[in-house]
Copies of this chain bind each other. A is one copy, B any other.
């Protein structure tokens, strides 16, 4: 299984023969499929699939796979992405003051739980520079005010370009990205510290405490220009009781946040998440 693989994520209007056509394309070129999963959304009339095959002994050279598949995809009106497992994507982690998700992502990357480079940390606070130094990662302090937001986002975009970043992970970054930013750099995963859509926006643990809930949650989602309303990748929950004060909810929530965010990042990097409309299919 250490052979590199190619993965296609495809969505197209449902019709007969889709599985056969796609599987034939791979088989005809000598590929060995190691993962194939599909989903049909009957209400939307959509067929969605993920197919992964080994590149060893695959006859098509890498640069010809996309054009060759396009010839099949076009008549099917398919939207598709092609990924190679040995492409190492570059992540920028954005933080504010809390370090638990940052530490966790760095630890997992070093433990090879997912394949990626983390060359860049951006923060609106200087506090976590020490963590960046500890692990030899560049740290940029980009403070945000209502007045300077537009120019600072320009600076952030520059940094993403400079460091050739493929994915931004908001690891408890407590600022809202503008619609313009998202339009220019749409690959952003966020962790929200509540069980969305409950407790959108600021201070969800305080709100959860006020409401007297018996379970708290965390949600990882792609960021859109609609606050906390982007496609959900992963959620998880933990039980709480009347004994838990706000600070206990925060503490228990941290354990949720780090696993939920890490799972979402890992699923994304393994090309297991297909977004359509405001929903995700997660091919596990």
Contact = CB atoms under 8 A, between A and B. Distances in A.
Given A18-B33, A99-B111, 4 more contacts: A33-B38, A197-B198, A197-B211, A215-B237
B243 A215 contact: no
Contacts of A39: 242-243
As for how many copies of this chain the complex holds, the number is: 4
A16 B107 CA distance: 37
Of the four ranges (under 10, 10 to 19, 20 to 34, 35 or more), the interface on chain A belongs to 35 or more
A-B pairs with lowest CB-CB distance, top 5: A212-B279, A20-B27, A20-B23, A198-B198, A19-B23
At the interface, is chain A mostly helix, strand, loop or mixed? mixed
Interface in A144-175: none
Nearest to A103: B107
B40 A19 contact: no
Interface string A1-45: 100000000000000111111011011101111111111111100
Contacts of A40: 34-35
Contacts of A282: 214, 241-242
A235 interface: yes
